[in-house]
Structure 1
């Protein structure tokens, strides 16, 4: 069993793509195939299945993955202890939901790339519970969540900033000119919602849809799609303020006068408490605190 085979397997488990793995590791795709085949033959089990263009871990692959990550972490730790590192290098696997990826993280990612060009950032767009599970399964080093305060014993949570929410409609919507609203005003209205795993969707159900009997729901996997549909007059959306600044400033969306102060969400950076913090990972954490954290 070779270190490079384990690195290839762990990268492939993250990208779920032979071609992307080959590009990241500077191999040709056939080399990725040969390394995985050799690893499977040595272990005597099939680690993954290729379903069309998709790569899916088998049960054996999922069970083996944490051990592969631990071996690679131990190797990286041994290297950092036994040698004086010059320029930082290596890979940091990042996970975040769509909102933070699009509206919160870009300045950090650019800053880090400019200062640490030899560190490869591998990004995994995830949502909801997948983000925390990716840390527990060793699929990500650091994840960013927009959620209520995370208090998991196995995960370290670093507060970055509080986030406000707005309920928005198009300027032509019947409710756009109202100075105050009551629950009955939402009856029969269409609500454009994020996917069910989204952390703040449940708040909309509990505080508005359930009480107002507003059952007209349209579900989207993209915040940008929701905004475009709201601007087209298809309904009402409740979204983080960071995703709405441009449209509110340009008058393309109108914020409704509805009290959302009960929504207490913040951007947080998480990593597993038992994970060894490599120099590259430590540098990324420090950069995130400097660029994103508010007091």
Structure 2
């Protein structure tokens, strides 16, 4: 991995500088419609150029640069007809759990996203967070330290922490998408459905207050049909009706012993 070559960095990974050092001759940010990133290169990948959308902010642009660099460096990735890649906002959200159902394009997008996360969020930078109890406050601290989005920081915590975690993003009480860690049971609710009444999130949304709740116990039936000894929930209410719900499960002893 690249981090073995560049060493440990205390702070945000200089992704544009790394790209330029790896034969990306131009990295440019500008307003784009219909895509988040473009890679232009030749069939031999001897050099390339990256163009990314800056409409969604600097953190999203940084991720897009890392994503397109992944396409450039992952030699198995098949280039488009014009010797390049054009990646949409949805491509930046593909996850490993969808891989079996993917066509080649979507599989490549997953791999580029995994490369981007691995580059922007190295294991050594996450180590202190993974040694502590999961919390939205830790997600926010990591977001600020590494200059990544709240979404990327949340995904890293959920997918890399030893505890069974999941995260639910919603807007105006409607679920936008869900990410589960490898040990968290199946979540009953799907995209487009209303947040469950047993969850604490709708109550926090109704209060109209922006901020982060305490981690508190919630009925497991709020989120899953799986029988759990305990389920804890923490909520972040953002602006314009956005909410992030962090779920932390306690598994039955038999399941923990199998790990």
Q: Report which structure shows greater RCO (CA 8 Å, sep ≥6).
A: 1
Same fold (TM over 0.5): no
Q: Relative to total residues, which structure has the larger helix share, 1 or 2?
A: 1
Please say which structure displays the higher CA radius of gyration.
Answer: 1
TM-score computed with the length of structure 1 as normaliser: 0.26
